[in-house]
């Protein structure tokens, strides 16, 4: 068994695709409209679906925003340098909500950015051996 994807509901598909591809550097892997159901599925990721876990962005055509609730946490992405990842995201129009620094009560360097729908993405700096 392996984890295939995580699904996020997005209010504006083009805006979300721009964030995940232009700001975070993922690739659009596939996209399909389902007119009878009035929704579109778009899959994005850093590698092909048969090699890595990806994100499924679900756009329900008649819904422009969602209440994220209190149960959702975040998506984590490993980066070489969290401060540089924040600078790169900011330069591409991303919203940094926590600058790079040690996690509370720990030493792992983390940072957070937010996607256009308010989902949090954590950058976790790769530890060197």
Torsion of CA 69, 88, 30, 34, to 10 degrees: 40
Catalytic residue among 49, 65, 99, 122: 122
**DSSP string across 20-73:** IIIIT--EEEEEEEETTTTEEEEEEESS-TTTS-EEEEEEETT------TTT--
The closest alpha carbon to 62, from 17, 11, 14, belongs to 11
How far apart are alpha carbons 40 and 7 in whole angstroms?
A: 12
Per the annotation, the verdict on 122 as an active-site residue is yes
Up-side HSE of residue 90: CA atoms within 13 Å toward CB? 13
Active site residues: 122
């Amino acid at each position: 068994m392996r984890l295939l994807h995580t699904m996020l509901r997005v209010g504006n598909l083009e805006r979300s695709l721009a964030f995940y591809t232009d700001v975070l550097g993922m690739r659009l892997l596939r996209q399909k409209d389902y007119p009878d159901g009035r929704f579109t599925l778009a899959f994005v990721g850093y590698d092909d679906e048969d090699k890595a876990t990806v994100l499924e962005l679900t756009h329900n055509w008649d819904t422009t925003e969602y209440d994220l609730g209190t149960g959702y946490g975040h998506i984590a992405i490993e980066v070489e340098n969290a401060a540089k990842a924040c600078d790169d995201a900011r330069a591409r129009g991303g919203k940094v909500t926590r600058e790079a620094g040690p996690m509370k009560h720990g030493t792992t360097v983390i940072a957070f950015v937010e996607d256009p729908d308010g989902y949090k993405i954590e950058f976790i700096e790769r530890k060197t051996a």
